[in-house]
C-alpha cells in the first residue's frame, strides 16, 4: 500500500503499485473499446452552479480560484466531484457534434472534500461508461452496459465479485401498490438498510414516508429478496400488490438478469435492496461488491436516468456505470492481494565494461527497443557484480554484457544462466516481456 502522505486523502502510489493501477486502467480501456465505447476527457473544473444542479453536495466541493482574481469578475469554479455531472454538461454543449446513441468511457481524477477513511479519498480515479440517447434510448442498453462492465471486471485480477441489480420501477411500483405514495422517501430509507438495519429503516419509513407497520414490513420484505436466477419474479408477486410500474420493472430486471446469466454466468444477483439514493435514477440500478471485501461497499455502481441532461425540450436519457478505481485498488494493495511481477518496465539492463562503451551500449539498447523490448543502460562502468546487484534491486531480470570484441551475452540473474545473444534476434520469454499483475500469494 502507498505510504502515508503529507496530505491526508491524496493517494500517491509507489512504482510497483502504479504499475498495478496502469494495468487496471489499460485493461478497462481495452474492454470498453472492444465494445464500441469512445474515450472523452472533460475539464477538471466546472462552475459551482453546474455542480450544484443535481443536489446539495456543497460540503464535498473543492473551490478553485486564482490567488489574485477579482471575485466579481468571473464565475465561481470548483473541481468536479464525479464524472457524471461534467458528462451531462459535455453532452449538452457538444450535442451537435456527437452521434447518438453516444457510447463514452471516461477515466479521470475527481475530488471530494470529505473525511478520508478506507475506501474514501479526497482525490481519486474513476472509470465511467455511459450510453446516452437523444430523446429516447432502448432498454437493451441497460442490458448491454451490465454485460460490458461485468466483462471488464472479469478481466481484472481482483478476484470474485457480484453485480447486485435492481430496478427503480419495480421498487416504486411495489410501494405504490401497497399504498406508499412518497416513493422517493421510501427509496432513501431502503438505501440505508445495510448501514442502519431493518428496525431503524422501519422507523424512518414511518417518519418520512408515513408508512404503517404493515407497509413498512412489506417494503422490507421486498428488500430482502436476493436471487441469482429469475425466481425473484415469483417471490415479488407472492408479496401481493399490482401496478403497471411494478410489472414493467419486473420485466426489465428479468431481461437484464437473463442476459447476464447467458453472457457472464455467476456474476450477477437480483438484489431488491439496491435503491441508489440519487433521485435521477429511473430504472435499472447497479452496485458491485468484491466477494470477501463486502465491508468496502460498492466498487462499481450506476443506473438508468431519463433526463440527467436536457437542452430546452431536448432530453438525453442514458445509462451509466462507474468504477471507483482508487477505492478498489486501495483495499487490494493494502491487504497484499495484488502485486506486480516487478517494479519497473525494464526487462534488460545493459552493463558497461568501460565508460567509453556507453555509446555502443545505447546502440544495442535501441536495437532491442526497436523490437519492443524495454531496456535500461548503466550510467557508469562499475564492477559487474555491482551492476548486477543494481539490476536485481531494480527488479530487472536480465543483464546484458558486451566484450571488447563485440560479442554479446545475456544473463538471467534469477537462475544464473548466461547465454550468447544477438540484439537483432534475442527475445526474453513472453512472461518477462512486461511486468505482470497477479493476485499475491
Q: What is the mean pLDDT of residues 147-170?
A: 96
* Domain end (from 274, 308, 340): 340
Q: What's the pLDDT score for residue 438?
A: 76
- Same domain, residue pair 311 and 427: no
Residue 335 belongs to a domain: yes
Question: What confidence tier does 412 reach under pLDDT thresholds 50, 70, 90?
Answer: very high
Residue 70 belongs to a domain: no
Q: In which element (H, E) is residue 213 found?
A: helix 213-223
* Domain end (from 340, 366, 401): 340
Kindly report the CATH number assigned to the domain that includes residue 413.
Answer: 3.40.50.800
Residue 50 belongs to a domain: no
- Same domain, residue pair 127 and 240: yes
Other beta carbons within 10 Å of 73: 7
Report helix angle 193-209 to 213-223, nearest 10. Answer: 150
- Same domain, residue pair 215 and 282: yes
Q: What's the pLDDT score for residue 284?
A: 97
Per-residue pLDDT of 203-262, as tens digits, reads 999 999 999 999 999 999 999 999 999 999 999 999 998 999 999 999 999 999 999 999
- Same domain, residue pair 322 and 208: yes
Residue 2 belongs to a domain: no
Kindly report the CATH number assigned to the domain that includes residue 336.
Answer: 3.30.930.10
Contact between 129 and 105 (Cβ < 8 Å) = yes
Per-residue pLDDT of 336-374, as tens digits, reads 888 898 999 999 999 999 999 999 999 999 999 999 999
In this predicted structure, the answer to whether residue 74 has a pLDDT above a threshold of 80 is no
Report helix angle 193-209 to 183-190, nearest 10. Answer: 150
| DSSP per-residue codes, 312-352 | TTEEEEEEEEEEEHHHHHHHHHHTT-EEES-SSS--EEE--
Give just the sign of the alpha carbon dihedral 313, 314, 319, 320: negative
- Same domain, residue pair 226 and 353: no
How far lies 104's CA from each of 157, 272, 373, in Å?
24, 28, 33
- Same domain, residue pair 304 and 181: yes
Coil, helix or strand at residue 319 = strand
Q: What is the mean pLDDT of the chain?
A: 92
In this predicted structure, the answer to whether residue 174 has a pLDDT above a threshold of 60 is yes
- Domain carrying residue 93: 15-41+82-340
- Same domain, residue pair 317 and 353: no
- Same domain, residue pair 269 and 406: no
- Same domain, residue pair 333 and 354: no
Q: What is the mean pLDDT of residues 275-280?
A: 73
User: What grid cell was written down for 156?
Assistant: 481484472
In this predicted structure, the answer to whether residue 3 has a pLDDT above a threshold of 90 is no
Coil, helix or strand at residue 242 = coil
In this predicted structure, the answer to whether residue 71 has a pLDDT above a threshold of 90 is no
Q: What's the pLDDT score for residue 335?
A: 86
How far does Cα 362 stand from its chain's mean position? Answer: 39
Helices and strands (H and E) in the chain: how many: 14, 19
List beta partners, residue 374.
none
Q: What's the pLDDT score for residue 127?
A: 98
Contact between 41 and 104 (Cβ < 8 Å) = no
| pTM for this entry | 0.90
- Same domain, residue pair 355 and 327: no
Q: What is the mean pLDDT of residues 379-383?
A: 96
Q: What's the pLDDT score for residue 6?
A: 75
- Same domain, residue pair 318 and 378: no
- Same domain, residue pair 335 and 357: no
In this predicted structure, the answer to whether residue 72 has a pLDDT above a threshold of 80 is no
* Domain end (from 340, 357, 390): 340
Residue 10 belongs to a domain: no
Residue 430 belongs to a domain: yes
Domain count of the chain? 2
Residue 207 belongs to a domain: yes
Comparing C-alpha atoms, which of 95, 99, 223 is closest to residue 171?
223
Comparing C-alpha atoms, which of 280, 290, 235 is closest to residue 257?
235
Residue 433 belongs to a domain: yes
In the block, which residue shows the cell 548486477?
Answer: 388
Amino acid at each position: 500500500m502507498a505510504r502515508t502522505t503529507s496530505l491526508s486523502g491524496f493517494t500517491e502510489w509507489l512504482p510497483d503499485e502504479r504499475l498495478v493501477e496502469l494495468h487496471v486502467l489499460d485493461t478497462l480501456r481495452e474492454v470498453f473499446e472492444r465494445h464500441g465505447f469512445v474515450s472523452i476527457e472533460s475539464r477538471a473544473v466546472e462552475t459551482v452552479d453546474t455542480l450544484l444542479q443535481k443536489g446539495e453536495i456543497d460540503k464535498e466541493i473543492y473551490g478553485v480560484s486564482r490567488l489574485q482574481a477579482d471575485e466579481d469578475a468571473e464565475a465561481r469554479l470548483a473541481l468536479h466531484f464525479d464524472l457524471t455531472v461534467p458528462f451531462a454538461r459535455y453532452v449538452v454543449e457538444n450535442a451537435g457534434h456527437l452521434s447518438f446513441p453516444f457510447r463514452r468511457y471516461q477515466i479521470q481524477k475527481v475530488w471530494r472534500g470529505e473525511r478520508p477513511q478506507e475506501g474514501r479519498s479526497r482525490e481519486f480515479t474513476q472509470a465511467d461508461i455511459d450510453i446516452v440517447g437523444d430523446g429516447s434510448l432502448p432498454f437493451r442498453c441497460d442490458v448491454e452496459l451490465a454485460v460490458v462492465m461485468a466483462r471488464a471486471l472479469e478481466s481484472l485480477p481482483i478476484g470474485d465479485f457480484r453485480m447486485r441489480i435492481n430496478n427503480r420501477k419495480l421498487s416504486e411500483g411495489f410501494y405504490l401498490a401497497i399504498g406508499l405514495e412518497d416513493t422517493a422517501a421510501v427509496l432513501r430509507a431502503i438505501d440505508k438498510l445495510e448501514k442502519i438495519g431493518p428496525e431503524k429503516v422501519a422507523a424512518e419509513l414511518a417518519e418520512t414516508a408515513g408508512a404503517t407497520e404493515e407497509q413498512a414490513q412489506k417494503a422490507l420484505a421486498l428488500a430482502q429478496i436476493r436471487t441469482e436466477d429469475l425466481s425473484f419474479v415469483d417471490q415479488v408477486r407472492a408479496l401481493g400488490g399490482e401496478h403497471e410500474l411494478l410489472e414493467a420493472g419486473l420485466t426489465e430486471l428479468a431481461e437484464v438478469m437473463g442476459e447476464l446469466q447467458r453472457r457472464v454466468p455467476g456474476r450477477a444477483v437480483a438484489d431488491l435492496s439496491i435503491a441508489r439514493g440519487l433521485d435521477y435514477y429511473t430504472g435499472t440500478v447497479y452496485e458491485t461488491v468484491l466477494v470477501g471485501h463486502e465491508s468496502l461497499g460498492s466498487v462499481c455502481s450506476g443506473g438508468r436516468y431519463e433526463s440527467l441532461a436536457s437542452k430546452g425540450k431536448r432530453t438525453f436519457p442514458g445509462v451509466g456505470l462507474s468504477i471507483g478505481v482508487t477505492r478498489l485498488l486501495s483495499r487490494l494493495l493494502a491487504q497484499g492481494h495484488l502485486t506486480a511481477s516487478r517494479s519497473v518496465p525494464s526487462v534488460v539492463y545493459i552493463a558497461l565494461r568501460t565508460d567509453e562503451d556507453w555509446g555502443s551500449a545505447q546502440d544495442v539498447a535501441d536495437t532491442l527497443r526497436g523490437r519492443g523490448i524495454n531496456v535500461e543502460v548503466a550510467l557508469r562502468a562499475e564492477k559487474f557484480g555491482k551492476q548486477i546487484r543494481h539490476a536485481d534491486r531494480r527488479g530487472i531480470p536480465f543483464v546484458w554484457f558486451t566484450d571488447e570484441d563485440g560479442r554479446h551475452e545475456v544473463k538471467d540473474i534469477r537462475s544464473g544462466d548466461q547465454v550468447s545473444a544477438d540484439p537483432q534476434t534475442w527475445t526474453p520469454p513472453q512472461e518477462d516481456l512486461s511486468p505482470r499483475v497477479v493476485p499475491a500469494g
